[in-house]
Amino acid sequence: MSQLKNKVIPLVIIFFNMIIMGMVMESAYFIEGFKHTEIMAFALLPVLLTLGFLGMLKGENLYYRIGFFLLGAVSAYFLYHAVRTIDLLQIPSDIAVINATIMDGLSIQFTDFLNVLKVMMLTGAVILSLTLYIFPYNMVILDMGLLLFLWIVDYYGNTYEYARFFVPVWAFSLLFYRTTLVDQEAKVLKINRNRRLVEAVVLTLIITIGSAFIDVEAKGIYSDRLFNYFNGQVVPQGSITGSSIRDPFGIAMTGYNDSETLLGGDISISEDEVMRAFGEEPIYLRGTVRTEYLGDRWARDVVEYEPNGSLSSEKTAYYERLTVNEDLRRLEIRPVVEMTSNLFSSIYTKEVAFSNNLALLFYNDERSTYTSNKTVINNYDITYFREDLIEDHIRRLPKNVHASDFYMKYSPYLQIHSTLTPRTVDLVNSLVDDSMRNYEKAEVLTNYLRENYSYTLTPGALPENTDFVDYFLFEVQEGYCVYFGTALTVMLRIAGVPTRYVEGFKMSEEVVDGEYIIRNSDAHAWTEVLVDEENDIWQIFDATGTPRELIYGEEPEVENPEGEEGVETPSETPETEVPPEEEGTDTPGQSPEEQKIERTRRNVILLVIGLLLMAAASRAAYKKMKRQRMINSGSLKPYFREMLKLFSFIYYRKEPGETYLEMAARIKDEEIRTQMETLVSEVYKEEFSGEPGEFTQRQEFYEDVYGIVKDYRGPIFAFMKKHFL
């Protein structure tokens, strides 16, 4: 009978292991409406059937064997009917729907994934249950292999909240097998059984807590390549156009006016953080490139993007020659808010790779721009060539000699609009001439704008039927980056130089914890100039700064990413490390008294852990009671305050001078917006009329918004905020 008992716990672990796999799938694919109860039977019934079979073989008496036989028979009956609900013929269609949904950047529904999940749960539980009796370490190996795979392909970056649960399952499995199989063979199991079990539980707890400190941002050696390969095998790839991008970047996302609607006008830019970047230096981060100037706005171009593209081998080889095979620079972009599907990159980017397993990478070679089919919420890496080395080469280039197909190839970048005035043309011709190289023309016009025009965020609106560039150059003569960037782009085109207008971010020098902080005030617009026609090399020219540089002043004192003080030198004596013996760790040859002290210390640590767990449980119970009282309260005010707190977690806060109804109107989700507006109206009624407000869907609305917080900020963040903080 003891052998049967030794099989029960591993079978229970198998069940929990399969449930965790389902949770990982839910997290990785952002499956909406996930119902664990519908797939739980496919993980549980094979386990119960195996238990019934083992009980019939190893039951200590007839009654036990009959009981286990009945358990197995009932499990087999329900398993048979559960299997009949799987529509195997529908699975190819379901996979096609899933792939199409991913391609469109939409959310996947649980019903589309149900057949696949049923097969996955059933197959995994059956294989693990059957092989458990033959090879008891199968689940440990399976979980380790899965975790390794997730780490290599960056899948772990999306699913670590649930994948961490594999660590205690694996640890307890390994330790439990140690307490049963190895000790049983040594004939010492009876003597140390309770002690071994306690050790297994304690060590599992230690390993679980330790796993919280694992750097989930770390990447595998071949993570980017393998991820893109496997992602390409699972999701069909096809080209997309600029019109089909879900959230194309525009500078209007950061507080500027929309350059596709009307250029210019007064603006107010916030200091809100939008991204963080980890790299060696601040650079210009290109977001979107525009070519067609319409006199008062820039048109959105229809651009073809190809899947998994990158810099051509010819241009890569050319850049490598210019940089004398210097090591490539790497920058990791870490989005803070959900903003755009465009992937920001350097002008001399070689490659971009990211870890959002639901998003695909697309590339336009002509403009060297990257995008995704989904709004990017995960970190991604930029590998680029050193800009200073390439620009040094550009300065030494001879004068451009146009090839026969020059105007055909670069005509979109030479386009000027009919609203352009003669005085604008005359001004350009007075500053540059045809004897100059493209680089020299760009330098002259950049310096002219920088020295003769002022920076302001309040230049006033553009009058109707007025050319924007003419108005800036001769009327208002002040503006912000959109004014300078547009003017420089158009003026160089008048001078016969191909240019393109670019919107993105200019990274500042602000560093916190080794990461560059990128804010709305770093959003910027500039000009890219064709400086090497033969090799299609462009260079950034910028006639002004960002709001952070010119309006808000210098950022806080920069931290050294390496943590070094500016006044220190490498020759200073480093701080002496404390030897392990002085840190209180165990050492061989301790005396009985020292061992007693060590045991006391361990007991104190365990006691503290126990007290912390009790405190956490008490806090969770108090939060639940408070939440229930708030939902059942006769007044809506406590509930309203709690909902405002929830919305703040997804960056919806009432701005200065804004009413709560205006804040609610900014919510993108129509259903959530309607409910929030109703709640605000009822709170207003309670506040100003004295009558109690009525909002009957308190629990449902709370859970809906909490679910959004969970999806947006992650299950761990949402769980901690709900139950403890």
Residue 402: predicted pLDDT? 65
Q: Percent of the chain scored above 90 by pLDDT?
A: 24
Say which residue the tokens 């005035």 belong to.
Answer: 421
**What is the C-alpha separation between 258 and 225, in angstroms, rounded?**
37
**What is the C-alpha separation between 421 and 385, in angstroms, rounded?**
40
**What is the C-alpha separation between 176 and 173, in angstroms, rounded?**
5
What does the pLDDT average to over 457-483?
Answer: 95
Please state whether beta strands 478-479 and 454-455 pair in parallel, antiparallel, or not at all (unpaired). Answer: parallel
Residue 467: predicted pLDDT? 96
Q: What is the mean pLDDT of the chain?
A: 78
User: Does residue 578 register a pLDDT over 60?
Assistant: no
Residue 187: predicted pLDDT? 42
What does the pLDDT average to over 262-290?
Answer: 92
Q: Percent of the chain scored above 70 by pLDDT?
A: 72
- Kindly report which listed range (40-44, 590-594, 619-623) carries the lowest average pLDDT score: 590-594
What does the pLDDT average to over 592-603?
Answer: 63
- Overall CATH class of domain 237-550: alpha beta
Residue 481: predicted pLDDT? 95
**Mean pLDDT comparison of 221-235, 401-415, 530-544, highest-scoring range:** 530-544
Residue 104: predicted pLDDT? 58
Residue 143: predicted pLDDT? 61
Residue 94: predicted pLDDT? 85
More confident residue, 681 or 222: 681
537-555 pLDDT tens trace = 999 999 999 888 886 654 4
Residue 558: predicted pLDDT? 38
Residue 421: predicted pLDDT? 95
User: Does residue 207 register a pLDDT over 80?
Assistant: no
Residue 607: predicted pLDDT? 67
Total residue count of the chain as it appears in this document: 725
Residue 137: predicted pLDDT? 60
**Mean pLDDT comparison of 261-275, 349-363, 471-485, 631-645, highest-scoring range:** 471-485
Residue 362: predicted pLDDT? 87
The amino acid at residue 475 is: E
Long-range contacts of the stretch 291-295 (C-beta < 8 A, 24+): 291/412, 291/413, 291/415, 291/500, 291/501, 292/412, 292/415, 293/415, 293/416, 293/417, 293/486, 293/489, 293/490, 293/501, 294/417, 295/417, 295/418, 295/419, 295/420, 295/467, 295/468
What does the pLDDT average to over 465-469?
Answer: 95
**What is the C-alpha separation between 111 and 98, in angstroms, rounded?**
10
Residue 240: predicted pLDDT? 58
User: Does residue 300 register a pLDDT over 70?
Assistant: yes
What does the pLDDT average to over 670-675?
Answer: 90
User: Does residue 616 register a pLDDT over 60?
Assistant: yes
326-385 pLDDT tens trace = 788 999 999 988 888 889 999 999 999 875 455 678 888 889 999 887 788 888 889 999
- Kindly report which listed range (202-206, 255-259, 695-699) carries the lowest average pLDDT score: 202-206
Residue 608: predicted pLDDT? 74
Residue 130: predicted pLDDT? 76
User: Does residue 426 register a pLDDT over 60?
Assistant: yes
Structure tokens at 210: 């330790």
Reported confidence tier of residue 72, pLDDT bands at 50, 70, 90: confident
Residue 424: predicted pLDDT? 97
What does the pLDDT average to over 26-42?
Answer: 80
Residue 470: predicted pLDDT? 97
Residue 523: predicted pLDDT? 94
Structure tokens at 33: 């409406």
477-518 pLDDT tens trace = 999 999 999 999 999 999 999 999 999 999 988 888 778 999
User: Does residue 576 register a pLDDT over 60?
Assistant: no
More confident residue, 335 or 202: 335
Reported confidence tier of residue 535, pLDDT bands at 50, 70, 90: confident
CA distances from 155 to 117, 173, 242, 294, 418 (A): 18, 24, 27, 44, 51
More confident residue, 272 or 182: 272
What does the pLDDT average to over 291-310?
Answer: 87
**What is the C-alpha separation between 68 and 57, in angstroms, rounded?**
9
Structure tokens at 570: 């490498």
Pair 510, 516: CB distance under 8 Å: yes
Residue 123: predicted pLDDT? 85
What does the pLDDT average to over 694-698?
Answer: 89
More confident residue, 236 or 163: 163
Residue 333: predicted pLDDT? 92
What does the pLDDT average to over 631-657?
Answer: 86
**What is the C-alpha separation between 331 and 387, in angstroms, rounded?**
13
Residue 14: predicted pLDDT? 81
What does the pLDDT average to over 100-105?
Answer: 63
- Kindly report which listed range (399-403, 578-582, 618-622) carries the lowest average pLDDT score: 578-582
Residue 155: predicted pLDDT? 45
What 3-state class would DSSP assign to 432?
Answer: coil
CA 160 vs. chain centroid, Å, equals 12
**What is the C-alpha separation between 366 and 363, in angstroms, rounded?**
9
Structure tokens at 472: 């800036």
Reported confidence tier of residue 458, pLDDT bands at 50, 70, 90: very high
Residue 331: predicted pLDDT? 92
The amino acid at residue 515 is: E
156-175 pLDDT tens trace = 444 455 556 666 666 666 65
Domain regions of the chain by residue span: 2-223, 237-550, 606-723
